[in-house]
Amino acid sequence: MKPTIEWADGKVVMIDQRRLPLEEVYVECGTVEEVARAIETMVIRGAPAIGVAAAMGVALGVSALKPSADLTTEFSKIVKRLERTRPTARNLFWALERMDRVFRESRPLPLADLKARLVEEALEIEREDEAICRRIGTNGADLVKDGDSVLTHCNAGGLATAGYGTAVGVIRSAWEAGKKVRVLVDETRPFLQGARLTAWELEKIGVPYRVIADNMAGWLMQRGEVSLAVVGADRIARNGDTANKIGTYTVAVLCRENAIPFYVAAPISTFDFSLSDGSGIPIEERPAAEVREVNGRLIVPPAAAVRNPAFDVTPARFITAIVTEEGIVRPPFERSLDALRGRS
């Protein structure tokens, strides 16, 4: 199996996450526009993976520029197009800012060298992301005990990153350390990232799991069938407020009610230090069809209106700890994150 996303012969190749788990199909993007649309339509999703895709999109866009082009103007257009894809994922903007820095530093170089430098940076972001996920996994593995039943929501696995995953990385790392863990996977409507993607990944790595409808987690917690919950993140404010897939807030509230630890696992690139709290995080509202249909078939009356907020914000007070590549951050998050920020 190929990786989630890959730079191959001057193209960006992604596994089409809309068609998993029943079909393994790969999408080849040859232009910035194709990468942007792949992100928008969720061929690829997951904040860290979106960051990698955006970086590769920039590299692809600049690669196509002619010597006669106004480089600065064209670069700005490329970045702006990619910025418009998904508003919530901090890693998208982080990756674009990083590519922008490299572009400015390398602007004086001959065009061929500038292009090579941007491709190199995108590949570096990809390599780093997988290494970071492995460190998150190692750091978080101690939170999972032998015999634990771990609940996860959405997909924060290899498919959501350059590889290995964040929340799934924590579970996987505990599993690889010999702990017998079982996973409860929220199906995660409307896009079914849990049922389709997390289940598919756990199946491949051999970790026992069961898929549940999102509304079942509370009851299983009440019955003592959940030891801890671990999820990924799309954007984390300075105080620890965390935007993640819609339904995460509900999981966190249920964990608090049932005295179950609730962990977030995310790379430092997910933190938005410009935001004092979660109220400033933009929440994407996605197309109605995602709620109205499953597998392209209508599940509501034809005239039905729906809501489709793609993310929610979990207030920091519900979060037991945040697992990063630099270590586990505990409340008060603002102070712990300042220390971390100084380090990284």
Residues with catalytic roles? 234
Q: What are the residues binding a second copy (CB under 8 A)?
A: 21-22, 153, 184, 186-190, 192, 195-196, 199-200, 203, 208-220, 222, 246-247, 249-250, 253-254, 257, 291-292, 294-295, 297-309, 312-313
Q: Of 76 and 222, which has the nearer Cβ to a second copy?
A: 222
Q: Which position has the token pair 């799309």?
A: 234
Answer for the pair 229, 195: CB distance below 8 angstroms, yes or no. no
Q: How far is the CB of 24 from a second copy (least distance, A)?
A: 11
Instruction: Count how many residues are written for the chain.
Output: 344
Answer for the pair 163, 224: CB distance below 8 angstroms, yes or no. no
HEC profile of 171-200: HHHHHHCCCCCEEEEECCCCCCHHHHHHHH
Q: Of 141 and 252, which has the nearer Cβ to a second copy?
A: 252
Beta bridge partners of 8: 11
Q: How far is the CB of 153 from a second copy (least distance, A)?
A: 8
Q: Of 219 and 273, which has the nearer Cβ to a second copy?
A: 219
Q: Of 125 and 291, which has the nearer Cβ to a second copy?
A: 291
Q: How far is the CB of 80 from a second copy (least distance, A)?
A: 29
Q: Residue 104 class from Cβ within 10 Å (0-12 exposed, 13-18 middle, 19+ buried)?
A: exposed
CA distance linking residue 173 with residue 205, whole number of Å: 11
Q: Of 15 and 195, which has the nearer Cβ to a second copy?
A: 195
CA distance linking residue 53 with residue 45, whole number of Å: 9
Q: How far is the CB of 6 from a second copy (least distance, A)?
A: 23
Residues with Cβ within 8 Å of residue 285, at least 6 apart in sequence:
307, 308, 309, 310
Q: How far is the CB of 206 from a second copy (least distance, A)?
A: 11
